[in-house]
Amino acid sequence: MSNINTEKTALMSTLPGDDVRQIMWRFADRYEHQMVVQATRSVARGMVARLVADKQRHTHDWTPQKQEMLKAFDEAGVTAAFMEPDQGGYITGPKNLVLALVAFELAWVDAGAATASLANNLALEPIHEKGTPEQIHHYMSGCVPPKPGEKREILRGSFALTEPLPYVGVDAGMLSGKIRIAEWKEGKEPIIQVEKRGRFITNMGYATFVTAAVDTDDPRIKSSCMVILEKGDQGIYDPGAPTLKLVHQLSCTHDPIFNLKIPASRIIGGYTIKDGVIIPNYNHNEVIEAVFRRTRVTVAMMTTAKLLSAIEPVIRYQRTRYRGGEAAKPGTPRYDLGIQQKEDAQHRLLDVWATGEASASLGFEAARLFDEFDPLEKQKDAMFLKDGIKGPRAQMKVFAEPRKRALEYIEIMGKPEAQRDAKRVQDLENDFLTMYVVKESLADVFCPACKLWNTGYGATMMREAVSLMGGYGITEDCPGFLTQKWSDAQLEATYEGPECVQRRQMSLTMVSDVFLAQFKNWIKDLRALDAKKPGMGAGTLASAMELWLWSIEYLQNAKDANGKTLYAGQRQGVTFPMADALAWLLGSRQLILDTLELERKGPENSVLAEGLTGFVNFYSDLSYLQAARAAGEVGKVCAELVYGYQAKGATCALPNAAIKTFAELRSKLDGSLAGARLAKDRAAEAVTQVMIPEALDYPL
Amino acid sequence: MTTAFNIVVCGSLVPDPLQTLEPIQGPTGPALKNEMMLPSVLDPWAGHALFEAANLAKHHPGTKVYLVSLGPKAKLQQLMMTIAQKVPFEFVCLDGPASGFLDSREVAKALASAIEKIPGLDKTKLLVFGGYSSASRDAGTTMQMIAEQLGISDVFLGADELKVQPDGSFRIMERIEGGQYQISSCAGAPIVIGWATGNLPEPPNNPQVGMANMRTIMPALQKAQPAALKTDGIQYASVQLPQQQRQTKIVKDTPVEEIAKEIVAWIRS
């Protein structure tokens, strides 16, 4: 009897190492990024792991041992990774990818440590994105660790948006924190009184400055804004009590109280005065939007790291499960494979692994996207400032023409390269507003998608990882701190905007014509890829994307059995599941693209020559099985939404043309799953054969 | 008296000790299973030598530190992402195998030849450092043979400390049997030292140091020449891992006395 799975014989020999990751995540030629990865890793798997092993997570207080972790970040260059060389940093250009890598490395061991590191950057982000040149220089340079012989205290910051109930924080639109004019002498700078209470504010126990969101409580201040508060300002700067959180205990979280007088020059981004009224250059929403669209990606990477960090401990547990027992003699399958003799154990581990890989691919793509988007946004901001373009309506007007050009660009790029008008492509690529529209349409989807899916579904799959360790999984002795990682994941799914906020954003951005035009191009690309390489699940994914695309167009135009519009702002029963489904598709597609990158660039690295085929085979199989999983989710969501709002029995009695089309697409999708489970079997075989280290490289 | 030295550290990569090391018979002799794919670290003994060299350089302004490595250059590049962050040095790369099954005579010849070719090297100030031992295979002979090829007769092995005396001479502590040290005096450079563990902690990674080092590392990697190593001078009848029995048990909060008693009982048994 022939066995179709005998076609591929090269198996993955070892777990994927740095060489593989650098290619897949596109930093093989970024040496500074590779160094930051190594430096961060040594802190994570050294000091951070020891803190966890020494039960430092068992207290809410900020202990001297936890404080040492900050020193380790400073010494290893982690703190300065965010800054430009002229501010004391050492990496030039946008930092989204490098910060995502830092988050990934720290969260591989403990996400609280990652939060402690990144919260300082979060405090700086409003200044970095919208601050005046003086503000940027002062605070960015101040947060760089002093050089030997330099006498100054390092600045450490907190970002204070979230407030005690009722308004809470992200996307609430309202703020309890207020500002009013305390003093305004003729010819002098106005002094502002700030009242703000914070809730769940990271780094607050030791922060020396705070970037706080506040609303106006004075007719002489036109709008809300963000302000910089400093320890030492006149008034109350009370870090408050530690927040009694059950997770991320290696970050310092407090509920602070501020009642301070500050000069108006601390308004982030500056202000103008018109008719005796202070007009902040940016309201708090404008600042926050610029901040969170970036920092959410790093949060997403935390849960991703945990999923991938679980693979090695789970494999080791599975293989050694029966060793020491009488029936498991060395050389027997029971001894060598342990629980991995069972298909279920292999397949469930693969589901965790594929989720981790797809979420890594998605998150790092989002980070890279922002690295491309940052300079375009800066250019756009500078132009708007120079030309005095303010407010959504005025900005939309400016983008009317670039939007048309963006659609034209996407249409051209959808053609085979030989058929493209190269000169026109060049012209369009040289037009920064056109490129801004293209990149923004992607950033506005990829950022919430990775935050939503990596953390939300990631948390679910962390539970699966814990379950694969049996009872061991929920003990403190579990290698890899899996239970802690599982519970931490719930916070990652929540802060910087919980899942509903991400779904809401996606429900608006994923129906943009510019995004959907690119989405259609991707389907064509996947079809072409499937014709050349049928073993990666590209055809399955293309079918799932076609079904999603058809469904979203249908839902936007159709009404339910009661005559109500289906795809509408308040109809979250329709919009939100479609956002979830899209996140599945994006992760799956990105994993395919990263696997192709490995196949393409791998031969350039002689170290990989020996094992490249095995890695490419494994990742192709993983891509296939992830495409099948994504297709399953999309099929389920779309079917429920398309059929579910019809009157009972209506589709059976009188199937309309639209429903018929849907049924055909669904059927095509089901048929495209052929081979997916064979891919899973092949990947499972690799999981049973792959060589793993003798022991984990960080302590229990 | 302040002296500036030219310190050349010989050291390369070994598989990360946490990895599973399984000897196999390769096409050109013994090898480790998946050796190229295993993550690598700087040989810990060579690492101590490098950190000692950097420390000496810190206290003797004008001193130059070179790291001469024989290994697959793509793997060395990966290794540099960590090692280059530790201490400042100039890199000299020899592209070749880093297997523990190489003939140490051939390795010594290649390294000595590379040292000879370092531009501007002042042999009267030359300190050649390396590991007394190795994590890949411990023949313990390479450093002596480098000394011989370079014509250096002052060789110290198993050193844990080098102190430069006010008159410019060296005071060197070498390990000898029974946990004792042999303390020697040496008039000065040139010398060869095979370091034991030394007394210095591993410096933390610092990407800023790394970025400075990379200015010489990348060109060195790009122009690395293949090292001509003969493999016919040595034959292996068989290879195997050292026999060991690892009996690990994880206990927490056990009093020190209890642990000591258990170890004594195990030794007596």
CA distance A295 to A144: 19
| Site from B35, B75, B81 to mutate, A interface, most A CB atoms within 10 angstroms | B81
Cβ-contact A571, A565 below 8 angstroms: yes
**Would you identify the CATH topology of the domain A157-283?**
Butyryl-CoA Dehydrogenase, subunit A; domain 2 (2.40.110)
SS3 of residue A219 by DSSP: coil
Other beta carbons within 10 Å of B16? 16
Nearby residues of A379 by Cβ (< 8 Å), 6 or more positions away: A432, A436
**What value, to the nearest 5°, has the Cα angle with vertex A52 and ends A50 and A57?**
145
Chain B residues within 8 A of A696 when measuring between CB atoms: 18
In a domain, B22, yes or no: yes
What span, in angstroms and rounded, lies between the C-alpha atoms of A24 and A612?
Answer: 12
> Is residue B269 one of the residues assigned to a domain?
no
Pick the closest to residue A690 from A411, A340, A324, A402 (CA basis).
A340
* Cross-chain residue pair B85–A697, CB shorter than 8 Å: no
CATH fit for domain A18-142, picks 3.90.78.10, 1.10.540.10, 1.20.1050.10, 3.30.1370.60: 1.10.540.10
**List of residues 6+ apart from A540 with CB closer than 8 A:** A624, A627, A628, A631, A669, A672, A673, A676
Q: Measuring CA to CA, which residue among A44, A22, A47, A42 is closest to residue A32?
A: A22
At residue A60, the 3 state secondary structure works out as coil
CATH number for the domain whose boundaries are A293-689: 1.20.140.10
CA–CA distance from A396 to each of A44, A400, A437, A440 (Å)? 45, 6, 11, 13
Q: How far apart are CA A372 and CA B227, in angstroms?
A: 42
For chain A, which residues make up each domain, given as ranges? 18-142, 157-283, 293-689
SS3 category, A155 = coil
Tell whether B75 is within 8 A of chain A (Cβ).
yes
Strands B155-164 and B170-175: antiparallel
pLDDT at A7 > cutoff 60: no
CB neighbour class for A52 (10 Å; exposed up to 12, middle 13-18, buried from 19): buried
Name the residue type at position B111. L
For residue A668, what is the enclosing H or E element?
helix A657-671
Nearest CB to A694; choose among B19, B73, B82 = B19
Q: Is A168 helix (H, G, I), strand (E, B) or coil?
A: coil
What average pLDDT does the structure give for chain A?
94
pLDDT digits (tens, 9 = 90+) for A385-426: 899 898 888 988 999 999 999 999 999 999 999 999 999 999
Distance of alpha carbon A493 from the chain centroid: 10
pLDDT at A477: 82
Residue B251 lies in a domain: no
DSSP A11-46: PP-B---HHHHHHHTT-TT-HHHHHHHHHHHHHIII
What does the pLDDT read at residue A654?
A: 53
Query: Does A63 or B250 have the greater pLDDT score?
Result: A63
Stretches where chain B sits below pLDDT 50 are: none
Instruction: State how far Cα A392 lies from the chain centre.
Output: 26
Instruction: For helices A432-452 and A513-532, give the axis angle rounded to 10 degrees.
Output: 70
What is the per-residue pLDDT across A473-511, written as a single tens digit (0 to 9) for each? 998 888 999 999 999 999 999 988 899 999 999 999 999
A14: nearest CB among B34, B78, B207: B34
The sign of the CA dihedral A171, A174, A175, A180 is positive
- Give me the pLDDT at residue A672, please: 97
CB contact under 8 A, B207 and A700: no
Q: Please report residues of A whose CB lies closer than 8 A to that of B253.
A: none
Number of structural domains (chain B) is 1
Contacts of A37 in chain B (CB under 8 A): 81
pLDDT for the residue A1: 45
Q: Quote the pLDDT of residue B184.
A: 97
Residue A36 contacts B where some CB pair is shorter than 8 Å: yes
Range of the domain at B74: 6-242
For residue B162, tell me if it sits in a domain: yes
How many angstroms separate the CA atoms of A334 and A489, rounded?
Answer: 34
Determine, yes or no, domain membership for B123.
yes
Q: How far does CA A6 lie from the centroid of its chain?
A: 38
| CA-based R_g, chain B, Å | 20
Q: Is the Cβ–Cβ distance between A611 and B37 less than 8 Å?
A: yes
- Cα–Cα distance between B111 and B124 in angstroms, integer? 19
Q: What would the pLDDT profile of A601-624 be if each residue is shown by its tens digit?
A: 999 998 898 899 999 999 999 999
Q: Residue A3: pLDDT above 70?
A: no
| Beta-carbon separation of A34 and B39 below 8 A | no
Q: Give the span between the Cα atoms of A369 and A365, in whole angstroms.
A: 6
Digit-coded pLDDT (tens) for A353-394: 999 999 999 999 999 999 999 999 999 989 998 998 988 889
Strands A225-230 and A209-216 turn out to be antiparallel
Nearest to A477 among B18, B72, B250 (CB): B250
Three-state secondary structure of B1-44: CCCCCEEEEECCEEECCCCCCCEEEECCEEEECCHHHCCEEECH
CA-CA distance, A21 to A309, in Å (whole number)?
Answer: 14
Q: Is the distance from CB of B14 to CB of B98 less than 8 angstroms?
A: yes
Residues 605-624 of A with CB under 8 A from B: 605-611
Cβ within 8 Å, pair B207-A77 = yes
Residue B228 domain-assigned (yes or no): yes
Q: Where are the alpha helices (DSSP H) in B84-173?
A: 104-116, 142-150
- pLDDT tens per residue across span A426-452: 999 999 999 999 999 999 999 999 999
Domain containing B88 — which CATH number? 3.40.50.620
Q: pLDDT digit string (tens) for A513-560?
A: 999 999 999 999 999 999 999 999 999 999 999 999 999 999 999 999
For residue B268, is it within any domain?
no
Cα angle for residues A575, A578, A582 (degrees, 5° grid): 140
Domain membership flag for residue B37: yes
- Indicate the residue of B19, B20, B74 with minimum beta-carbon distance to A607: B74
